[in-house]
Structure 1
Amino acid sequence: MPDPDIARDEAIRRLDERAAALEARTVQTPRDYGSKAAGYGYRLMGVLIGGVFVGLGFGAAADVVLKSAPWGMIIGVLVGFAVSIWMAVKSAQKMTAEAAKEWGPVRDLPSDDEED
């Protein structure tokens, strides 16, 4: 008859292997959202800067046509800035809805009650 300690050790080893295999199948690796979040930030920055430059271009063109230098550029930059802010807010709302749909609801960080 086999030694009961050896049989027990073998059963524990097989059980550990099965538990490790089950854990490897069930544990999901967390997705990396950093690159997508950085892309969202660059997109918003492009909208903000692009709006100002487009307004500057339209203002400069208006100055050439209407011969009203520098008022066309000043008004163009201000209008371009206002439009770029509006577009950035709308883009951020769309990105937030997309991220919430893909990533799920926002989870708070655990509270840090300890004083360092």
Structure 2
Amino acid sequence: MSTPTESREEAIKRLNDRASELAEATAPKTSEHLTAQSVSSEAYKIVAELLGGVFIGLGLGFGVDRLFGTNPWGLIGGVLLGFALSIYMARRTANRLMAQAKASGIEPKSILFDDEEDEDR
């Protein structure tokens, strides 16, 4: 509790200061660790979109082959359409991530290739 010599305004000011310190301490931080975690989850999402599109196309092509008896053309067409759809979805996700990065002011880092490492093998 506040001391008897402390005025009400001083107590309220001290309480507000402590509340703002608590809010800063408990606010979610956008550190490197959290950013790396969200980036890796988005990378897994892109991989799942790539694989999912191909497998869905494979399943639909198989279904078309069984339904209409068009072996193997339905399967081939389904895989190609699934692959095209998965590339489109992955590209859309990557563009969305790049737009979010640009909006937050994050500059993409360039990865330099080390050609000397390949020469040693």
TM-score range, shorter chain: 0.5 to 0.7
Equivalent residues in 2 for 1:45-60 (5 A)?
A: 45-60=47-62
Percent same amino acid among aligned pairs? Answer: 37
Per-residue CA deviations over 1:73-97 (Å, capped at 9, x if unaligned) read: 1110011001110111111101111
- Alignment pair present for 1:106 and 2:102: no
Superposition TM-score, scaled by structure 1 size: 0.62
Equivalent residues in 2 for 1:1-116 (5 A)?
A: 30-32=31-33, 33-102=35-104, 104-106=105-107
Post-superposition shift, 1:108? Answer: 5.3
User: Take 2:71 and 2:107, find their aligned partners in 1: how far apart are those partners?
Assistant: 49
Q: 1:53 to 1:42 in 2, by over 3 A?
A: same
User: Take 1:29 and 1:50, find their aligned partners in 2: how far apart are those partners?
Assistant: 31
Number of aligned residue pairs: 82
Deviation above 6 Å: which 4+ runs of structure 1?
none
Superposition TM-score, scaled by structure 2 size: 0.60
Unaligned runs of at least 5 residues, structure 1: 1-27, 110-116
For the pair shown, the structure with the greater C-alpha radius of gyration is 1
Unaligned runs of at least 5 residues, structure 2: 1-28, 111-121
Contact 2:62 2:74 in 1 (8 A): yes
